[in-house]
Amino acid sequence: MKVSTTTIILRSILGLIFLVFGLNHFFAFLPMPPMQGPAAAFIGALAASGYMLAMLSGAQAVAGAMLLAGVLVPLALVILAPIIVNIIAFHFFLEPSGIGPGIVVTVLELILAWQYREAFAPLFR
């Protein structure tokens, strides 16, 4: 499959977003704004599980690196799809003010899924 320059740029942007924010969980180089109410309770519950935030962040970082490297891109998109659904749901139901970046990653994911649609075609047969 020949990949266009535009696809490589969009793939790299999405990959960089998820690599940076995935690694931020482990290295805390970007300050995160404090949350309140149900959003804080939800994140607190994920943290209290002892593994969920690390697993999510690790998956984000790995999938982001895969996108940046152009390795197994359809698999990286599949890994990120449920994470992106939860980002949108989190902001839609719990923290609407931060939904902008979620919309951006959703649009990038959908564009890339369309660009790599041949890899997903067997799922719909």
Residue-wise pLDDT for 47-80, tens only, equals 999 999 999 999 999 999 999 999 999 999 999 9
Cβ contact 66:20 at 8 Å = no
pLDDT at 14 over 80: yes
Instruction: Supply the pLDDT for residue 33.
Output: 84
Residue 123 in any domain: the answer is: no
More confident residue, 20 or 98: 20
Residue 82 in any domain: the answer is: yes
Residue 86 in any domain: the answer is: yes
Angle at 108 between CA 21 and CA 54, to 5 degrees: 25
pTM for the full model?
0.93
Instruction: Supply the pLDDT for residue 124.
Output: 87
Region 97-104 average pLDDT: 95
What range does the domain containing 57 cover?
10-27+37-117
Residue 20 in any domain: the answer is: yes
Residue 2 in any domain: the answer is: no
Instruction: Supply the pLDDT for residue 81.
Output: 98
Residue 58 in any domain: the answer is: yes
Instruction: Supply the pLDDT for residue 32.
Output: 85
Number of domains in the chain: 1
Q: How many helices (H) and strands (E) does the chain have?
A: 6, 0
Crossing angle for the helix pair 73-93 and 52-69, to the nearest 10 degrees? 130
Residue 17 in any domain: the answer is: yes
Residue 122 in any domain: the answer is: no
Instruction: Supply the pLDDT for residue 92.
Output: 96
